Amino acid sequence: MIIFGVDPGKVTGLALWCDDCVRPETAEVEASSVGAMIRRMLDDHHWPPRSTPPGPTWFARERFVQGSRKTRQPHAQEVLGQVAVVANELGAQLVDQNPGPALKIAPNQLLRDIGWYVASRDQHANAAQRHVLLALASLVPETFASIVGI
């Protein structure tokens, strides 16, 4: 199983978690490079496997709602489109998540405690990892519990 966390924006945070990962592989990339980086990260993990049917794959994306008072954030929209294209190619599921519950379930201290915290200026990789943990909590709660120690 693979869960990809995505924090969309001009600089996008990505986090790839798989069954045999100790911690997610993370990246922070420009919006225009997201699709290529996702494919590279998946290739590094030999996913999908060539000899067996691929296991479940989810893309847990931060939900982006375009509002009249906020900037339109064309970069976030571009990223979400690139992720949807890759997910479609893989037959993966898209899960859209609000940022609030992701931050609540995995604050920085929890990320530090489990060894997942990534020091970076804007924290996009950590936001992506929060979406991985939120997806695990809802999709595979026993795995989430074992990771966070509850």
* Number of domains forming the structure of the chain: 1
3-state secondary structure at position 21 = coil
pLDDT value for 54: 53
User: What's the domain range around 129?
Assistant: 2-148
Which CATH number fits the domain that encloses residue 94?
3.30.420.10
Per-residue pLDDT band for 53 (boundaries 50, 70, 90) equals: very low
3-state secondary structure at position 59 = strand
Where are the alpha helices (H) located in the chain, listed in sequence order?
Answer: 34-44, 74-90, 99-105, 108-113, 124-139, 141-148
pTM: 0.90
Q: What does the alpha-carbon distance between residue 76 and residue 88 come to, in Å, rounded to a whole number?
A: 18
pLDDT value for 44: 85
Which one is predicted more confidently, 48 or 28? 28
